[in-house]
Structure 1
Amino acid sequence: MADSRNYEPALTTDSPVSTKKRNSVLRNTYWLLSLSMVPTVFGAWVGVTTGFTLFATTSPIMSALAFLAISFGFMSAIQQTKNSRIGVLVLLSFTFFMGLMLSRLLSFILGFTNGVSLIMLAFGGTSLTFAVIATVATLSKRDFSLLWGKWLFVGVLVLLLATVANIFMHLPALMLTVSALAIIIFSAYMLCDVQRVVNGGELNYISATLMIYLDLYNVFTNLVAMLGIFSDNRD
Protein backbone atom coordinates (compact mmCIF):
# COMPACT_ATOMS: atom_id res chain seq x y z
CA MET A 1 0.00 0.00 0.00
CA ALA A 2 3.04 2.31 -0.07
CA ASP A 3 2.50 5.46 -2.07
CA SER A 4 5.03 7.94 -3.45
CA ARG A 5 2.77 10.41 -5.22
CA ASN A 6 3.94 13.99 -5.43
CA TYR A 7 0.96 16.24 -5.96
CA GLU A 8 1.57 19.36 -7.97
CA PRO A 9 -0.81 22.30 -8.48
CA ALA A 10 -3.33 21.59 -11.22
CA LEU A 11 -3.33 23.64 -14.39
CA THR A 12 -5.93 26.35 -14.26
CA THR A 13 -5.93 27.70 -17.79
CA ASP A 14 -9.30 27.51 -19.50
CA SER A 15 -8.07 27.85 -23.06
CA PRO A 16 -9.71 25.60 -25.68
CA VAL A 17 -6.44 23.71 -26.16
CA SER A 18 -6.00 22.89 -22.44
CA THR A 19 -9.66 21.92 -22.11
CA LYS A 20 -9.40 19.61 -25.09
CA LYS A 21 -6.23 18.06 -23.69
CA ARG A 22 -7.77 17.51 -20.26
CA ASN A 23 -10.86 15.92 -21.76
CA SER A 24 -8.71 13.66 -23.93
CA VAL A 25 -6.61 12.49 -20.97
CA LEU A 26 -9.73 11.91 -18.86
CA ARG A 27 -11.43 9.94 -21.62
CA ASN A 28 -8.34 7.80 -22.27
CA THR A 29 -7.88 7.24 -18.54
CA TYR A 30 -11.42 5.95 -18.08
CA TRP A 31 -11.07 3.79 -21.19
CA LEU A 32 -7.78 2.24 -20.03
CA LEU A 33 -9.10 1.84 -16.49
CA SER A 34 -12.04 -0.16 -17.82
CA LEU A 35 -9.71 -2.25 -19.98
CA SER A 36 -7.41 -2.93 -17.03
CA MET A 37 -10.23 -4.75 -15.25
CA VAL A 38 -10.16 -7.50 -17.89
CA PRO A 39 -6.66 -8.88 -17.04
CA THR A 40 -7.41 -8.31 -13.34
CA VAL A 41 -10.50 -10.50 -13.48
CA PHE A 42 -8.70 -13.03 -15.68
CA GLY A 43 -5.73 -13.14 -13.32
CA ALA A 44 -8.03 -13.65 -10.34
CA TRP A 45 -9.88 -16.43 -12.19
CA VAL A 46 -6.61 -18.17 -13.10
CA GLY A 47 -5.42 -17.88 -9.52
CA VAL A 48 -8.63 -19.25 -8.00
CA THR A 49 -9.02 -22.14 -10.46
CA THR A 50 -5.37 -23.21 -10.29
CA GLY A 51 -4.91 -22.67 -6.58
CA PHE A 52 -2.24 -20.04 -7.12
CA THR A 53 0.28 -20.31 -4.26
CA LEU A 54 3.12 -17.91 -5.11
CA PHE A 55 4.99 -16.98 -1.89
CA ALA A 56 2.84 -19.47 0.08
CA THR A 57 5.90 -21.43 1.27
CA THR A 58 7.71 -18.34 2.53
CA SER A 59 7.17 -16.40 5.76
CA PRO A 60 4.50 -13.68 5.79
CA ILE A 61 7.17 -10.97 5.95
CA MET A 62 9.11 -12.42 3.00
CA SER A 63 5.86 -12.81 1.05
CA ALA A 64 4.98 -9.17 1.64
CA LEU A 65 8.48 -8.02 0.66
CA ALA A 66 8.43 -10.13 -2.50
CA PHE A 67 5.01 -8.77 -3.45
CA LEU A 68 6.15 -5.18 -2.87
CA ALA A 69 9.36 -5.74 -4.84
CA ILE A 70 7.49 -7.11 -7.87
CA SER A 71 4.79 -4.43 -7.62
CA PHE A 72 7.27 -1.55 -7.43
CA GLY A 73 9.23 -3.13 -10.27
CA PHE A 74 6.11 -3.09 -12.42
CA MET A 75 5.24 0.47 -11.40
CA SER A 76 8.76 1.66 -12.20
CA ALA A 77 8.55 0.01 -15.62
CA ILE A 78 5.17 1.66 -16.23
CA GLN A 79 6.58 5.09 -15.43
CA GLN A 80 9.54 4.51 -17.73
CA THR A 81 7.33 3.45 -20.66
CA LYS A 82 4.30 5.68 -20.03
CA ASN A 83 4.94 7.79 -23.12
CA SER A 84 4.73 4.83 -25.52
CA ARG A 85 2.23 2.10 -26.34
CA ILE A 86 4.47 -0.36 -24.53
CA GLY A 87 3.37 1.37 -21.33
CA VAL A 88 -0.18 0.13 -21.90
CA LEU A 89 1.04 -3.47 -22.22
CA VAL A 90 3.17 -3.16 -19.08
CA LEU A 91 0.20 -1.70 -17.20
CA LEU A 92 -2.10 -4.52 -18.31
CA SER A 93 0.56 -7.07 -17.31
CA PHE A 94 0.70 -5.45 -13.90
CA THR A 95 -3.08 -5.63 -13.50
CA PHE A 96 -2.96 -9.34 -14.40
CA PHE A 97 -0.37 -9.86 -11.65
CA MET A 98 -2.55 -7.94 -9.20
CA GLY A 99 -5.46 -10.19 -10.14
CA LEU A 100 -3.32 -13.23 -9.39
CA MET A 101 -2.41 -11.80 -6.00
CA LEU A 102 -6.08 -11.15 -5.32
CA SER A 103 -6.97 -14.81 -5.86
CA ARG A 104 -5.95 -15.99 -2.37
CA LEU A 105 -8.34 -13.55 -0.71
CA LEU A 106 -11.10 -14.43 -3.15
CA SER A 107 -10.53 -18.17 -2.62
CA PHE A 108 -10.92 -17.66 1.12
CA ILE A 109 -14.12 -15.64 0.70
CA LEU A 110 -15.52 -18.18 -1.74
CA GLY A 111 -15.27 -20.69 1.10
CA PHE A 112 -18.25 -18.92 2.69
CA THR A 113 -21.71 -20.10 1.72
CA ASN A 114 -22.46 -16.54 0.61
CA GLY A 115 -18.99 -15.90 -0.78
CA VAL A 116 -20.12 -14.94 -4.28
CA SER A 117 -22.63 -12.49 -2.82
CA LEU A 118 -19.94 -10.94 -0.63
CA ILE A 119 -17.62 -10.43 -3.61
CA MET A 120 -20.40 -8.95 -5.74
CA LEU A 121 -21.40 -6.67 -2.85
CA ALA A 122 -17.79 -5.45 -2.55
CA PHE A 123 -17.63 -4.90 -6.31
CA GLY A 124 -20.88 -2.93 -6.24
CA GLY A 125 -19.68 -0.87 -3.28
CA THR A 126 -16.41 -0.07 -5.04
CA SER A 127 -18.22 0.90 -8.24
CA LEU A 128 -20.63 3.15 -6.35
CA THR A 129 -17.72 4.76 -4.47
CA PHE A 130 -15.94 5.49 -7.74
CA ALA A 131 -19.09 6.93 -9.35
CA VAL A 132 -19.69 9.29 -6.43
CA ILE A 133 -16.05 10.33 -6.20
CA ALA A 134 -15.74 10.94 -9.95
CA THR A 135 -18.80 13.17 -9.79
CA VAL A 136 -17.47 15.15 -6.82
CA ALA A 137 -14.04 15.48 -8.44
CA THR A 138 -15.60 16.83 -11.62
CA LEU A 139 -17.96 19.32 -9.99
CA SER A 140 -15.99 20.57 -6.99
CA LYS A 141 -13.74 23.63 -7.29
CA ARG A 142 -11.82 22.75 -4.12
CA ASP A 143 -8.30 21.32 -4.53
CA PHE A 144 -8.43 18.22 -2.33
CA SER A 145 -4.78 17.26 -2.95
CA LEU A 146 -3.62 20.47 -1.21
CA LEU A 147 -5.92 19.74 1.73
CA TRP A 148 -5.19 16.05 2.19
CA GLY A 149 -2.02 15.13 0.25
CA LYS A 150 0.51 14.98 3.09
CA TRP A 151 -1.94 13.55 5.60
CA LEU A 152 -2.91 10.74 3.25
CA PHE A 153 0.73 9.72 2.82
CA VAL A 154 1.13 9.60 6.60
CA GLY A 155 -2.04 7.51 6.76
CA VAL A 156 -0.62 4.99 4.31
CA LEU A 157 2.54 4.66 6.42
CA VAL A 158 0.41 4.02 9.52
CA LEU A 159 -1.57 1.39 7.61
CA LEU A 160 1.65 -0.35 6.57
CA LEU A 161 2.90 -0.47 10.16
CA ALA A 162 -0.45 -1.76 11.42
CA THR A 163 -0.58 -4.39 8.69
CA VAL A 164 2.92 -5.64 9.53
CA ALA A 165 2.06 -5.71 13.23
CA ASN A 166 -1.05 -7.77 12.59
CA ILE A 167 0.98 -10.38 10.70
CA PHE A 168 2.31 -11.39 14.10
CA MET A 169 -0.65 -10.47 16.32
CA HIS A 170 -3.54 -11.90 14.24
CA LEU A 171 -6.13 -9.62 15.86
CA PRO A 172 -9.50 -9.52 14.00
CA ALA A 173 -10.28 -6.14 15.57
CA LEU A 174 -7.01 -4.66 14.28
CA MET A 175 -7.60 -6.16 10.84
CA LEU A 176 -11.08 -4.64 10.78
CA THR A 177 -9.70 -1.25 11.82
CA VAL A 178 -6.98 -1.38 9.16
CA SER A 179 -9.50 -2.31 6.46
CA ALA A 180 -11.88 0.49 7.45
CA LEU A 181 -9.09 3.08 7.49
CA ALA A 182 -7.73 1.79 4.17
CA ILE A 183 -11.13 2.24 2.52
CA ILE A 184 -11.32 5.83 3.79
CA ILE A 185 -7.72 6.71 2.86
CA PHE A 186 -7.78 5.21 -0.63
CA SER A 187 -11.20 6.67 -1.36
CA ALA A 188 -9.71 10.06 -0.50
CA TYR A 189 -6.71 9.29 -2.69
CA MET A 190 -9.11 8.38 -5.48
CA LEU A 191 -10.79 11.76 -5.16
CA CYS A 192 -7.43 13.54 -5.39
CA ASP A 193 -6.25 11.42 -8.31
CA VAL A 194 -9.42 11.81 -10.38
CA GLN A 195 -9.44 15.53 -9.69
CA ARG A 196 -5.84 15.83 -10.87
CA VAL A 197 -6.87 14.42 -14.23
CA VAL A 198 -10.01 16.56 -14.42
CA ASN A 199 -8.07 19.75 -13.62
CA GLY A 200 -5.07 18.97 -15.80
CA GLY A 201 -2.58 18.17 -13.04
CA GLU A 202 -1.87 14.81 -14.68
CA LEU A 203 -1.52 14.81 -18.47
CA ASN A 204 -0.38 11.21 -19.00
CA TYR A 205 -3.31 8.81 -19.11
CA ILE A 206 -1.18 5.75 -18.33
CA SER A 207 0.12 7.29 -15.10
CA ALA A 208 -3.39 8.47 -14.26
CA THR A 209 -4.82 5.01 -14.83
CA LEU A 210 -2.17 3.42 -12.61
CA MET A 211 -2.95 5.75 -9.71
CA ILE A 212 -6.72 5.33 -9.89
CA TYR A 213 -6.43 1.57 -10.44
CA LEU A 214 -4.41 1.20 -7.23
CA ASP A 215 -7.03 3.23 -5.37
CA LEU A 216 -9.85 1.03 -6.65
CA TYR A 217 -7.88 -2.15 -5.96
CA ASN A 218 -7.25 -1.19 -2.35
CA VAL A 219 -10.85 -0.12 -1.73
CA PHE A 220 -12.17 -3.37 -3.22
CA THR A 221 -9.79 -5.72 -1.38
CA ASN A 222 -10.47 -4.06 1.95
CA LEU A 223 -14.22 -4.12 1.38
CA VAL A 224 -13.97 -7.85 0.67
CA ALA A 225 -11.89 -8.36 3.81
CA MET A 226 -14.36 -6.41 5.97
CA LEU A 227 -17.33 -8.34 4.62
CA GLY A 228 -15.48 -11.58 5.28
CA ILE A 229 -14.85 -10.60 8.90
CA PHE A 230 -18.52 -9.79 9.47
CA SER A 231 -19.76 -12.96 7.77
CA ASP A 232 -20.17 -16.13 9.82
CA ASN A 233 -21.28 -18.42 7.01
CA ARG A 234 -17.98 -20.24 6.58
CA ASP A 235 -18.42 -23.76 5.13
Structure 2
Amino acid sequence: MDNKMIYEAAKTGNPSSTYAQNAVLRNTYILLSMTLLFSGAVAGLSMALNLPHPGLILTLVGYFGLLYATSKFRNSGLGIVCVFALTGFMGFTLGPILNAYMSLANGGQIIMNAMGATGLIFLGLSSYVLTTKKDFSFMGGFLAVGILVGFLAAIGAYFFEIAALSLAVSAMFVLLMSGLILYETSNIINGGETNYIMATTTLFVAIFNLFTSLLHLMGFMNDE
Protein backbone atom coordinates (compact mmCIF):
# COMPACT_ATOMS: atom_id res chain seq x y z
CA MET A 1 0.00 0.00 0.00
CA ASP A 2 1.54 3.34 -1.07
CA ASN A 3 1.27 6.65 0.76
CA LYS A 4 -1.71 7.85 -1.28
CA MET A 5 -3.71 4.69 -0.60
CA ILE A 6 -2.85 4.86 3.09
CA TYR A 7 -3.92 8.47 3.21
CA GLU A 8 -7.28 7.77 1.54
CA ALA A 9 -7.96 4.82 3.82
CA ALA A 10 -7.12 6.82 6.93
CA LYS A 11 -9.70 9.46 6.01
CA THR A 12 -12.65 7.11 5.67
CA GLY A 13 -13.28 6.50 9.36
CA ASN A 14 -14.03 2.79 8.75
CA PRO A 15 -12.09 -0.27 9.98
CA SER A 16 -9.65 0.08 7.11
CA SER A 17 -8.37 3.27 8.75
CA THR A 18 -7.02 1.17 11.62
CA TYR A 19 -5.18 -0.97 9.09
CA ALA A 20 -3.88 2.19 7.42
CA GLN A 21 -2.58 3.59 10.72
CA ASN A 22 -0.91 0.27 11.54
CA ALA A 23 0.65 0.26 8.08
CA VAL A 24 2.04 3.76 8.59
CA LEU A 25 3.43 2.75 11.99
CA ARG A 26 4.99 -0.45 10.64
CA ASN A 27 6.51 1.26 7.60
CA THR A 28 7.78 4.11 9.75
CA TYR A 29 9.62 1.83 12.16
CA ILE A 30 11.08 -0.25 9.34
CA LEU A 31 12.34 2.83 7.51
CA LEU A 32 13.50 4.44 10.76
CA SER A 33 15.57 1.37 11.61
CA MET A 34 17.15 1.38 8.16
CA THR A 35 17.97 5.09 8.27
CA LEU A 36 19.46 4.83 11.75
CA LEU A 37 21.73 2.01 10.60
CA PHE A 38 22.67 3.90 7.44
CA SER A 39 23.37 7.13 9.32
CA GLY A 40 25.44 5.20 11.86
CA ALA A 41 27.46 3.58 9.07
CA VAL A 42 28.10 6.97 7.45
CA ALA A 43 29.11 8.42 10.83
CA GLY A 44 31.50 5.50 11.33
CA LEU A 45 33.01 6.04 7.88
CA SER A 46 33.36 9.76 8.59
CA MET A 47 35.17 8.91 11.81
CA ALA A 48 37.44 6.37 10.15
CA LEU A 49 38.43 8.85 7.44
CA ASN A 50 38.79 11.59 10.06
CA LEU A 51 36.72 13.95 7.89
CA PRO A 52 36.40 17.56 9.06
CA HIS A 53 33.07 18.99 10.12
CA PRO A 54 31.49 20.98 7.25
CA GLY A 55 30.76 23.94 9.53
CA LEU A 56 27.54 25.55 10.67
CA ILE A 57 26.53 27.24 7.40
CA LEU A 58 27.01 24.18 5.17
CA THR A 59 25.35 21.99 7.79
CA LEU A 60 22.25 24.20 7.91
CA VAL A 61 22.09 24.51 4.11
CA GLY A 62 22.47 20.76 3.64
CA TYR A 63 20.00 19.91 6.39
CA PHE A 64 17.21 22.29 5.38
CA GLY A 65 17.77 21.66 1.67
CA LEU A 66 17.46 17.88 2.07
CA LEU A 67 14.57 18.31 4.49
CA TYR A 68 12.73 20.38 1.89
CA ALA A 69 13.45 17.79 -0.81
CA THR A 70 12.18 14.99 1.43
CA SER A 71 8.96 16.88 2.08
CA LYS A 72 8.50 17.76 -1.60
CA PHE A 73 8.86 14.15 -2.80
CA ARG A 74 7.27 12.47 0.22
CA ASN A 75 4.57 10.81 -1.89
CA SER A 76 6.94 9.25 -4.41
CA GLY A 77 9.78 6.77 -4.50
CA LEU A 78 12.20 9.69 -4.71
CA GLY A 79 11.18 10.55 -1.16
CA ILE A 80 12.93 7.39 0.03
CA VAL A 81 16.12 8.52 -1.72
CA CYS A 82 15.82 11.95 -0.11
CA VAL A 83 15.30 10.60 3.40
CA PHE A 84 18.41 8.42 3.08
CA ALA A 85 20.34 11.41 1.71
CA LEU A 86 19.18 13.52 4.68
CA THR A 87 19.99 10.93 7.33
CA GLY A 88 23.28 10.07 5.65
CA PHE A 89 24.25 13.74 5.64
CA MET A 90 23.39 14.02 9.33
CA GLY A 91 25.55 10.96 9.99
CA PHE A 92 28.39 12.61 8.10
CA THR A 93 28.15 15.73 10.31
CA LEU A 94 28.03 13.54 13.42
CA GLY A 95 31.28 11.71 12.65
CA PRO A 96 33.65 14.62 13.44
CA ILE A 97 31.72 15.35 16.65
CA LEU A 98 32.14 11.76 17.81
CA ASN A 99 35.84 11.85 16.92
CA ALA A 100 36.22 14.92 19.14
CA TYR A 101 34.69 13.00 22.04
CA MET A 102 36.76 9.90 21.31
CA SER A 103 39.89 11.99 21.76
CA LEU A 104 38.93 12.50 25.42
CA ALA A 105 40.04 10.16 28.20
CA ASN A 106 36.53 8.77 28.78
CA GLY A 107 35.00 9.84 25.49
CA GLY A 108 33.93 6.34 24.49
CA GLN A 109 32.01 5.91 27.73
CA ILE A 110 30.30 9.28 27.27
CA ILE A 111 29.19 8.31 23.76
CA MET A 112 27.86 4.92 24.87
CA ASN A 113 26.02 6.46 27.83
CA ALA A 114 24.40 9.06 25.58
CA MET A 115 23.46 6.40 23.05
CA GLY A 116 21.98 4.15 25.74
CA ALA A 117 20.02 7.00 27.30
CA THR A 118 18.68 8.00 23.88
CA GLY A 119 17.51 4.46 23.18
CA LEU A 120 15.83 4.13 26.58
CA ILE A 121 14.04 7.48 26.23
CA PHE A 122 12.80 6.68 22.73
CA LEU A 123 11.63 3.19 23.60
CA GLY A 124 10.04 4.34 26.85
CA LEU A 125 8.12 7.24 25.33
CA SER A 126 7.08 5.27 22.25
CA SER A 127 5.88 2.34 24.37
CA TYR A 128 3.87 4.69 26.56
CA VAL A 129 2.03 6.21 23.60
CA LEU A 130 1.49 2.87 21.87
CA THR A 131 0.11 1.37 25.09
CA THR A 132 -2.12 4.24 26.22
CA LYS A 133 -2.91 5.62 22.72
CA LYS A 134 -3.04 9.03 24.35
CA ASP A 135 -3.47 11.98 22.00
CA PHE A 136 -0.57 14.44 22.25
CA SER A 137 -1.65 16.61 19.31
CA PHE A 138 -2.16 19.53 21.71
CA MET A 139 1.64 19.80 21.99
CA GLY A 140 2.09 20.80 18.33
CA GLY A 141 2.06 24.59 18.77
CA PHE A 142 4.23 24.49 21.89
CA LEU A 143 6.82 22.28 20.21
CA ALA A 144 6.94 24.47 17.09
CA VAL A 145 7.59 27.61 19.12
CA GLY A 146 9.99 25.86 21.48
CA ILE A 147 12.08 24.39 18.66
CA LEU A 148 12.26 27.78 16.92
CA VAL A 149 13.36 29.51 20.13
CA GLY A 150 15.87 26.74 20.86
CA PHE A 151 17.26 26.91 17.33
CA LEU A 152 17.79 30.68 17.53
CA ALA A 153 19.33 30.36 21.00
CA ALA A 154 21.70 27.66 19.71
CA ILE A 155 22.88 29.94 16.90
CA GLY A 156 23.40 32.75 19.42
CA ALA A 157 25.38 30.45 21.73
CA TYR A 158 27.53 29.34 18.79
CA PHE A 159 28.43 32.79 17.48
CA PHE A 160 28.85 34.46 20.88
CA GLU A 161 30.51 31.39 22.45
CA ILE A 162 28.30 31.41 25.54
CA ALA A 163 28.88 28.06 27.24
CA ALA A 164 26.05 28.44 29.77
CA LEU A 165 23.54 29.21 27.02
CA SER A 166 24.78 26.26 25.00
CA LEU A 167 24.18 23.92 27.93
CA ALA A 168 20.75 25.44 28.52
CA VAL A 169 19.88 24.84 24.86
CA SER A 170 20.99 21.20 25.11
CA ALA A 171 18.82 20.68 28.18
CA MET A 172 15.93 22.40 26.41
CA PHE A 173 16.31 20.17 23.36
CA VAL A 174 16.28 17.01 25.47
CA LEU A 175 12.82 18.03 26.66
CA LEU A 176 11.65 19.25 23.25
CA MET A 177 12.80 16.16 21.38
CA SER A 178 11.20 13.93 24.01
CA GLY A 179 7.99 15.86 23.45
CA LEU A 180 8.39 15.52 19.68
CA ILE A 181 8.66 11.73 20.00
CA LEU A 182 5.43 11.68 22.01
CA TYR A 183 3.73 14.02 19.54
CA GLU A 184 4.74 12.24 16.34
CA THR A 185 4.05 8.73 17.65
CA SER A 186 0.63 9.91 18.79
CA ASN A 187 0.04 11.45 15.37
CA ILE A 188 0.79 8.15 13.66
CA ILE A 189 -1.47 5.94 15.77
CA ASN A 190 -4.31 8.49 15.83
CA GLY A 191 -4.29 9.17 12.09
CA GLY A 192 -2.77 12.64 12.20
CA GLU A 193 0.30 11.53 10.24
CA THR A 194 -0.43 9.40 7.18
CA ASN A 195 2.93 9.59 5.42
CA TYR A 196 5.56 7.20 6.75
CA ILE A 197 8.42 9.04 5.03
CA MET A 198 7.66 12.26 6.92
CA ALA A 199 6.99 10.32 10.14
CA THR A 200 10.39 8.66 9.79
CA THR A 201 12.07 12.00 9.14
CA THR A 202 10.49 13.60 12.20
CA LEU A 203 11.40 10.74 14.51
CA PHE A 204 14.94 10.50 13.12
CA VAL A 205 15.52 14.23 13.68
CA ALA A 206 14.16 13.89 17.22
CA ILE A 207 16.46 10.94 17.99
CA PHE A 208 19.48 12.65 16.41
CA ASN A 209 19.01 15.88 18.36
CA LEU A 210 18.21 13.99 21.55
CA PHE A 211 21.46 12.04 21.24
CA THR A 212 23.67 15.06 20.47
CA SER A 213 22.07 17.07 23.30
CA LEU A 214 22.61 14.26 25.80
CA LEU A 215 26.17 13.88 24.51
CA HIS A 216 26.84 17.54 25.22
CA LEU A 217 25.30 17.44 28.70
CA MET A 218 27.05 14.21 29.69
CA GLY A 219 30.35 15.56 28.41
CA PHE A 220 29.90 18.60 30.62
CA MET A 221 28.96 16.49 33.65
CA ASN A 222 32.13 14.47 33.12
CA ASP A 223 34.19 17.69 33.11
CA GLU A 224 35.01 17.21 29.43
Same fold at TM > 0.5:
yes
Map Cα deviations across residues 66-91 of structure 1 (whole Å, 9 max, x no partner): 22221111112112222222221221
Q: Is 1:123 paired with 2:123?
A: no
Report the CA distance shift for 1:48/1:226 in structure 2 as closer, same or farther (over 3 A): same
TM-score (norm 2): 0.89
Say if 2:188 and 2:199, in contact at 8 Å, map to a contact too: yes
Aligned to 2:3: none
Unaligned runs of 5+ in 1: 1-10, 56-62
Higher RCO (CA < 8 A, seq sep 6+): 1
Map Cα deviations across residues 22-76 of structure 1 (whole Å, 9 max, x no partner): 1111001001000001221111112212222253xxxxxxx32322221111112
Offset of residue 143 of structure 1: 2.5
For residues 157 and 87 of structure 1, the distance between their equivalents in structure 2, rounded to whole angstroms, comes to 25
Structure with bigger helix share is 2
Q: Is 1:228 paired with 2:219?
A: yes
Unaligned runs of 5+ in 2: 1-9
TM-score (norm 1): 0.85
From 91, 98, 111, the counterpart of 2:83 = 91
Report the CA distance shift for 1:74/1:50 in structure 2 as closer, same or farther (over 3 A): same
For residues 151 and 174 of structure 1, the distance between their equivalents in structure 2, rounded to whole angstroms, comes to 21
Say if 2:125 and 2:181, in contact at 8 Å, map to a contact too: yes
* Count of matched residue positions in the alignment of Structure 1 and Structure 2: 215
Percent identity at matched positions? 34
Which stretch of the first structure deviates more once superposed, 80-89 or 25-34?
80-89
Aligned to 2:34: 35
Aligned to 1:58: none
Offset of residue 14 of structure 1: 6.2
Map Cα deviations across residues 180-202 of structure 1 (whole Å, 9 max, x no partner): 11000111011101110111111
For residues 211 and 198 of structure 1, the distance between their equivalents in structure 2, rounded to whole angstroms, comes to 15
Report the CA distance shift for 1:128/1:86 in structure 2 as closer, same or farther (over 3 A): same
Corresponding residue SS for 1:203: coil
Which stretch of the first structure deviates more once superposed, 88-97 or 11-20?
11-20
Aligned to 2:144: 153
